[in-house]
Chain A
Amino acid sequence: MRTPTYFAAEPLAAELRLPTNWLDYTILGIYFVVVLGIGFAARRSVKTSLDFFLSGRSLPAWITGLAFISANLAATEILGMAANSAQYGAYTVHWYWIGAIPAMVFLGLVMMPFYYGSKVRSVPEFLLLRFDRGAHLLSSLLFAFAAILISGVNLYALAIVVEALLGWPQWVAIVVAGFFVLAYITLGGLSSAIYNEVLQFFVILAALIPLSVLGLKRVGGWDGLTDSLTKARGDDFVTAWGGTGIGSDNPLGANWLTIVLGLGFVLSFGYWTTNFAEVQRALSARNLSAAQRTPLIAAFPKIFIVFLVMIPGLVAAVLVPQIGTADSDLQYNDAIPYLMEQLLPNGVLGIAVTGLLAAFMAGMAANVSSFNTVFTNDIWAKYVVLGREDAYYVRFGRLITAIGVLASIGTAFLASSFSNIMAYLQTLFSFFNVPMFVVFIVGMFWKRASMKSGFWGLLAGTTAAMVNYFVLYKQDVIGIPTDQGANFVSAIAGFVAGAVVMVAVSLFTAPKPAEELQGLVYGTVSPGMAEPPAPGDEAWYRKPALLGWGAVILAAACYIPFSF
C-alpha cells in the first residue's frame, strides 16, 4: 500500500518548479483571453433553457464527439493515468481498450436511441420516465453531490500542481481557475463549456505529443524503454496481461477476471453510459445520428491517447527508479510535471502548462455544466419551484452555476487523502455510477422491472459498493492487495447487489403500464426516434455501426503487441 498523500508534493515545489518565462506566460494569457471570448460570444445563442443546458440540441457530431472525449480527458485523468503507468506499468492500457471502448460503443449503438429519442434532458430524467420519482430524485441528488465532489477534486489537484510548477499560492490558482470556469459557463452555458472542451482537446495534444516524443528519445526509444523496465521491474511490467492469472501476484492487485468484469464491464459501462457529464455532450448533438456518433467519434482518439499518458509515466519510472517510494521525493503523480521540467524548452513548455491548466478547467467545467443542468431541471424545476416560465430557469441555472463553483472550492480539500487521484475518482464512480448502470441496464432490457425497483436497486447498489470498500476492504476483512483491485471488486459487488434487489422488488411490486414505456425499453419506439436523418448522414463513414465496430476491432488489435 502506498501511504504518502498528495500533500507530499508541497516540499517538491523547488525541485519541480518550471523555468517558465514571459513567452510561456504569453501563451497562457492568450488562452485565457480566448476562453473568456468564447463565453461572451456564446452568450448570444442562449435564448431558452434548452440552449443554456443542452445547446439547443443542435451541435454537429465532431464537436460533441471531441467534447465527449475532452470532458473525460481532465488533468486528473492525464496525471492520474501517467501515475498509474509509473506504478503498475502497461496495465494502464486496460483503462482504455477494455475499460472504455466497449462501453462507449455500447452507449452509441444501443443506448443512445433511447436517451436521445426520448428527448430527456438528463440521465436522471430518463429514470423518471422509466421508473418513478423516487429513483429520479435519488439519482439526481447522488449525481449533483458527486459532480461537486469531483469538481472539487479537480480544483484541488489544480492548485497543488500549479503551486508546484509555477509557484502560485494555492488560493490564487483556485480563485483564478474558479473564476474563469464560473464566467464562461454562466455566460454561454453548455455551448461555451463544449466549445472550450474541443479547444482544450487540441491544446492538450499539442502538449502531450512533444512530451512523449522527447521522453522516448531520452530513454532510447520504445525498445530502450521496455528493456530498461523489464530489467528493473520484471517481464510483466510492460505487458497487459502478464501475471493476471487468478491467484498469481501482480502490481495491480487484480486478476484477469476482475479486470474484465470489474473494470471492463461494471466500472466502465457505469462511467461511460450513465455519467451525465459525458452523456450530456451526446444529448446536445443536433440529431439522433449525430448523438449516436458522439461517443463513437470519441472512441478513436481514446484508443491512442493511452500512449500519450502511458509513455511519460513509463519514462519517469525509468529515469527515477525510486519514484513513488520513500527513497525519492517524487510521487507517481509527478511523472508528467517532472518530464516537463526536464525536457521542454520555453515555448513548448508554455503550451504544456496551458494544456494542463486547460485540462483542469475543462474537467471542472464538465462537472459544473452537468451539475447545473441536473440541479435546475431535475431537482429545482420538478420538486421545488414548478411551472415557472422558461426564462426563470435560465436565470436560476446561472445562479446555481455560481453556487456550484463555490461549493467545489469548499470540497476541494476532500481530495487530500489519496495520493493517486485516479484511485479516488474511480472509488467515487464505483459508488455512484455502478448502481446507476445496473438500474439502467435492467430497466432498459427488462419490461417487467417495476416502478419501485429503480429506487431500491440504486440504493442497494450504492450501499453494497460502499460497504465492500470502506468496511470489508479498508477494515481488512477481505484481503485485496491494492486500492485499484478493491475498486474493481466493490464495483462488482455493487452491480450484483443492485441487480438482485431490482429483480426481487420487481417480483412483488407493480410494473409500469406498457403504454408509458414507449421508447424507454428495448424493442419499443418513441416518436422522437422516428425523425428522418439529416442530409449527408447516410455517407458510409457516418454509419454508427461501422464506426462502432471499427473502434472495437481496432482496440482489440491494439492488445496484440502487449499480450505476448
Chain B
Amino acid sequence: MSEQFEPDERAAAAERLRHAGFSEADVQREVTELEEKSATAARIFDLRRIIGGLFVVYGVIVTITGLTDSDADIAKAQGININLWTGLGMLLLGIFFLVWLKLRPAAHPTPPVPPVPPEAVEEKRPE
C-alpha cells in the first residue's frame, strides 16, 4: 500500500510520526481530533428499531406456534403452553422498543462544527 504523498501530506505524515501517541498529550490530541471527524454519532442507525422489529417478528411466529401447538408439545413443556407465553413476552418486548423509539427519537447530534483551533476545542468541545 504505497500512496504517493503530496507535499502537504508529507508534512502531515512527518508531524504524525513526531507524535506517534507515546505521551499523554499525544493521545489526548489524537483522540480529540478523531472525535471531531468521527461519523458514528451522526450516521449510526437506531438499534431500538432493529430489536423492536426482530422481537415483533419472533413474537408473532412463536405466538402463532403456541396457538397451534399439539397436546404432545404442551405435554413436553410440563403442561405449560410455553410457545404462547414466550411469544407474547417477545412481542411485548418488541413493541416496547418500537414505542420507546416513537416517543423518544434519538436527539440528532449537532452537525459537525467547522474546524476550531485545538486550544479552543479543549475548552468547550460539545458533548
Contact = CB atoms under 8 A, between A and B. Distances in A.
Interface of A: 23, 26-27, 30-31, 34, 37-38, 41-42, 44-51, 55-59, 63, 118-121, 125, 128-129, 133, 191, 195, 198-199, 202, 206, 209-210, 213-214, 217-218, 286-287, 342-348, 351, 381-382, 386-390, 392, 395, 516, 518-520, 526-528, 531-534
B18 to A, nearest CB: 8
B67 to A, nearest CB: 11
Nearest to A49: B34
Contacts of A348: 62, 77, 82-83, 86
Given A48-B37, A56-B35, A388-B13, A214 B22 contact: no
A387 B17 contact: yes
Interface residues of B, number: 60
B20 A343 contact: no
Given A346-B73, A520-B24, 5 more contacts: A46-B40, A50-B35, A55-B40, A214-B78, A516-B24
Contact of B43 (A44, A217, A518): A44
Contacts of B109: 58
Given A50-B31, A382-B21, A45 B13 contact: no
Given A38-B50, A56-B41, A390-B34, A344 B28 contact: no
Given A48-B39, A388-B16, A195 B50 contact: yes
25 contacts: A26-B61, A30-B54, A34-B54, A45-B44, A46-B40, A47-B38, A48-B38, A57-B31, A58-B109, A119-B27, A121-B27, A125-B27, A191-B40, A199-B50, A202-B93, A206-B55, A213-B82, A286-B127, A345-B73, A347-B62, A347-B83, A348-B86, A351-B90, A386-B17, A390-B34
A386 B20 contact: yes
Nearest to A387: B17
Q: Lowest 6 A-B CB distances belong to which pairs?
A: A387-B17, A56-B40, A56-B38, A47-B39, A347-B65, A345-B73
B40 A58 contact: yes
B74 A345 contact: yes
Contact of B39 (A45, A346, A347): A45
A533 B16 CA distance: 31
Max count, chain A CB within 10 A of own CB: residue among B24, B54, B62: B24
B24 A118 contact: yes
Contact of A217 (B45, B50, B80): B80
Contacts of A121: 27, 31
Interface string B24-64: 10011001101101111111110100110011011001100
B23 A218 contact: no
Given A38-B50, A214-B80, A120 B27 contact: yes
A388 B5 CA distance: 11
A315 B16 CA distance: 60
Given A345-B69, A346-B65, A351-B58, A387 B127 contact: no
A30 B56 CA distance: 12
A447 to B, nearest CB: 15
B15 to A, nearest CB: 8
